[in-house]
Amino acid sequence: MAIDSSLSSSLGPAACEKDAKALQFIEEMTKNADPVQENVLAEILRRNADTEYLQRFQLCGATDRDTFKSKIPVITYEDLQPEIQRIANGDRSAILSAHPISEFLTSSGTSAGERKLMPTIQEELDRRQLLYSLLMPVMNLYVPGLDKGKGLYFLFVKSETKTPGGLLARPVLTSYYKSEHFKTRPYDPYMVYTSPNESILCSDSFQSMYTQMLCGLYLHNEVLRVGAVFASGLLRAIRFLQLNWEQLVQDISTGTLNPKITDPSVRECISHLHQPNPELAEFITKECSGGNWEGIISRIWPNTKYLDVIVTGAMAQYIPTLDYYSGGLPLACTMYASSECYFGINLNPMCKPSDVSYTIMPNMAYFEFLPHEPSSSGFTRDSPPCLVDLVDLEIGKEYELVITTYAGLCRYRVGDILRVSGFHNSAPQFNFVRRKNVLLSIDSDKTDEAELQKAVDNASQLLSEFNTSVVEYTSYADTKTIPGHYVIYWELLVKDPANSPSQEVLNQCCHAMEESLNSVYRQGRVADNSIGPLEIRVVKSGTFEELMDYAISRGASINQYKVPRCVNFTPIMELLDSRVVTAHFSPTLPNWTPERRR
């Protein structure tokens, strides 16, 4: 095929005029990363100059980097909580941003057990939309013909609440899917989804998943890519198929719709798409009934060219399972984003998961980087950190991301650790290393060491009447089951064997731990069904001493040895599992409602 030379960019030949513009934009941004960053900072400081927050630091109208860096402190969410609380309570004055706060985006990162509330402003939707609009032009460079079919994407909205002052609080993707940007997006042959908006926007997760799967099955031969936001979400869809294929097949065969689908707008929209198709029903029955799920994605959707899911960071644990269900289809990680800000895109999306690097788009916010030294816990006001600018980073080094956004976050520590893997033009590219302080994660939940400790403390109170205590513990994110679940290994000291805690009491300990975990975990258990019941495995006494002996035999220092609070190294897992005496599961769901506990 002859390519129009006007469509060529250093990234490669664009698939169409629209793509050419997007690639051109990426080139401009990455070539001019430093001036773009300078302008972004100046613009943010200019427009927010009169906000209460910036006034506090007496910039006196300065919009340059040096003044900014010398006067504005680097902060965390906790530092900003008083201001955020005031906004949540209804104070509409210009506290952080000169533009009105349009809503709060509820992060999966938590503070005191509740989702962090990230203020946002209306125009941020345009910025997010802009980043989304760059994804397909890049993908089209690597995978031709994506306009000849559809994408089967499992996309969901989550529940939303209002703050006491009346602002909406909801996850960023819920905000995006409910926006006009998404709902009334213009037709684009490269972005045709099998899921109707009505299904995506249905807040009942069963009805949403069922009808998205049904549409995906109907259009199975047209599907060219299958995806979800995170790997865990796509696996949940496969599990859903395993559990519900018979009902789905019945609907396809007869052209009826499962009576559990009660949402009128979903029923109405599906009824238009719905025709009896016994042949397709037979095909799906043949593929699903034998109990062999290996390669099921490519068997049911035979034209799938790749899976579009994030498998970097905590999601890397799902790569082998995705490979199993897809027969090894390529995994594309396309973007890196958060509730605070959308950061960047992967310019080589068909690369191996271990090679994924994200290029931060310098127009999205002002970015600074705190050199990450694993041994240092932080810094004090007396020894301010030296933050590095986007274009001054060193290849191979690790940094923590610090952002200044249009919505009013100033020098805010995101908590992500990134490693510079190279540059595209003058913009650095990053491997996502990890999120700081996350011990356990199954889906979007993030449990840190302090939360785990508190959960163990709370649960072990149930043991006190049995004169029993937890002497040591560690944990493991078990993703062999779908959904995955937390496993906590406990070594107990039972002082009175005649009165040791019963099976029932230990089950209740699992439940007590779940009750203590943060709201994202509990929402995953209750509303999203994305996390399975927590399990406690009681190990023989002396097991943790063996664990220490093992670590020392591998070179750990006796003096500095600390029990790892999370494990995933196979020999250690094998040791622990070989010492398990009893296993217990949480018998009931923990409490969760969309309302915040405080």
Distance in Å, CB of 446 to ligand AMP, minimum: 8
120 binds ligand AMP (CB under 6 A): no
Distance in Å, CB of 362 to ligand AMP, minimum: 18
> What would the two tokens of residue 505 be?
């009491």
Identified binder of ligand AMP from the candidate list 337, 409, 442, 510, rule CB under 6 A: 337
110 binds ligand AMP (CB under 6 A): no
Stretch that binds ligand AMP, among 105-113, 233-241, 489-497, 583-591 (CB under 6 A): 105-113
CA distance 520 to 238: 22
Q: What are phi and psi of 468, to 5 degrees?
A: -125, 140
Residue closer to ligand AMP by CB (options 474, 519) is: 519
The distance in angstroms from the start CA to the end CA of the chain is 61
CA distance 217 to 280: 8
Distance in Å, CB of 332 to ligand AMP, minimum: 11
317 binds ligand AMP (CB under 6 A): no
Q: What are phi and psi of 359, to 5 degrees?
A: -100, 115
Identified binder of ligand AMP from the candidate list 338, 460, 468, 474, rule CB under 6 A: 338
Identified binder of ligand AMP from the candidate list 59, 167, 269, 310, rule CB under 6 A: 310
Residue closer to ligand AMP by CB (options 94, 337) is: 337
Stretch that binds ligand AMP, among 180-188, 283-291, 308-316, 528-536 (CB under 6 A): 308-316
What kind and span of H or E run contains 400?
Answer: strand 398-404
CA distance 221 to 152: 11
Residue closer to ligand AMP by CB (options 210, 230) is: 230
Stretch that binds ligand AMP, among 29-37, 104-112, 120-128, 266-274 (CB under 6 A): 104-112
Residue closer to ligand AMP by CB (options 341, 510) is: 341
Q: In what order do the strands lie in the sheet with 335-337?
A: 335-337, 342-345, 358-360, 427-435, 412-424, 398-404, 366-371, 388-389
Distance in Å, CB of 453 to ligand AMP, minimum: 22
Distance in Å, CB of 520 to ligand AMP, minimum: 8
Identified binder of ligand AMP from the candidate list 14, 241, 252, 414, rule CB under 6 A: 414
Find out whether the peptide bond into 483 is cis, omega within 30 degrees of 0. Answer: yes
The residue to which tokens 């396309």 are assigned: 334
Three-state secondary structure of 189-251: HHHCECCCHHHHCCCCHHHHHHHHHHHHHHCHHHEEEEEEEEHHHHHHHHHHHHHHHHHHHHH
Residue closer to ligand AMP by CB (options 325, 432) is: 432
Distance in Å, CB of 115 to ligand AMP, minimum: 8
CA distance 515 to 454: 11
109 binds ligand AMP (CB under 6 A): yes
141 binds ligand AMP (CB under 6 A): no
> What would the two tokens of residue 577 be?
């599992």
Q: How many helices (H) and strands (E) does the chain have?
A: 20, 22
For residue 353, CA distances in Å to 189, 342, 350, 415 come to 27, 20, 9, 22
What kind and span of H or E run contains 177?
Answer: helix 172-177
| Interface with ligand AMP in residues 2-21 (CB under 6 A) | none
Residue closer to ligand AMP by CB (options 314, 572) is: 314
The residue to which tokens 């027969």 are assigned: 327
Stretch that binds ligand AMP, among 59-67, 102-110, 152-160, 368-376 (CB under 6 A): 102-110
Distance in Å, CB of 108 to ligand AMP, minimum: 3
- Coil, strand or helix: which one is 562? coil
User: Quick check: 342 and 229 in contact, CB under 8 A?
Assistant: no
Identified binder of ligand AMP from the candidate list 9, 211, 339, 519, rule CB under 6 A: 339
Stretch that binds ligand AMP, among 95-103, 218-226, 331-339, 510-518 (CB under 6 A): 331-339
Three-state secondary structure of 298-325: HHHCCCCCEEEEECCHHHHHHHHHHHHH
CA distance 23 to 161: 38
User: Quick check: 152 and 225 in contact, CB under 8 A?
Assistant: yes
Distance in Å, CB of 341 to ligand AMP, minimum: 9
435 binds ligand AMP (CB under 6 A): yes
Q: What are phi and psi of 563, to 5 degrees?
A: -65, 125
Angle of helix 503-516 relative to helix 449-460, nearest 10 degrees, comes to 140
364 binds ligand AMP (CB under 6 A): no
Stretch that binds ligand AMP, among 239-247, 299-307, 309-317, 504-512 (CB under 6 A): 309-317
The β-bridge relationship of strands 398-404 and 101-111 is unpaired
Per-residue x/- track, 489-528, ligand AMP (CB under 6 A): ----------------------------------------
Stretch that binds ligand AMP, among 84-92, 106-114, 295-303, 499-507 (CB under 6 A): 106-114
List residues bridging with 366 in a β-sheet.
404
Distance in Å, CB of 593 to ligand AMP, minimum: 19
Identified binder of ligand AMP from the candidate list 37, 120, 199, 312, rule CB under 6 A: 312
CA distance 274 to 252: 8
432 binds ligand AMP (CB under 6 A): yes
CA distance 542 to 492: 10
Residue closer to ligand AMP by CB (options 310, 488) is: 310
33 binds ligand AMP (CB under 6 A): no
Residue closer to ligand AMP by CB (options 59, 139) is: 139
Residue closer to ligand AMP by CB (options 117, 506) is: 117
User: Applying CB under 6 A, what is the total number of residues that bind ligand AMP?
Assistant: 17
| Interface with ligand AMP in residues 162-201 (CB under 6 A) | 172
Identified binder of ligand AMP from the candidate list 51, 107, 232, 586, rule CB under 6 A: 107
Which residues contact ligand AMP (rule: CB under 6 A)?
A: 107-109, 172, 310, 312-313, 333, 336-339, 414, 416, 432, 435, 444
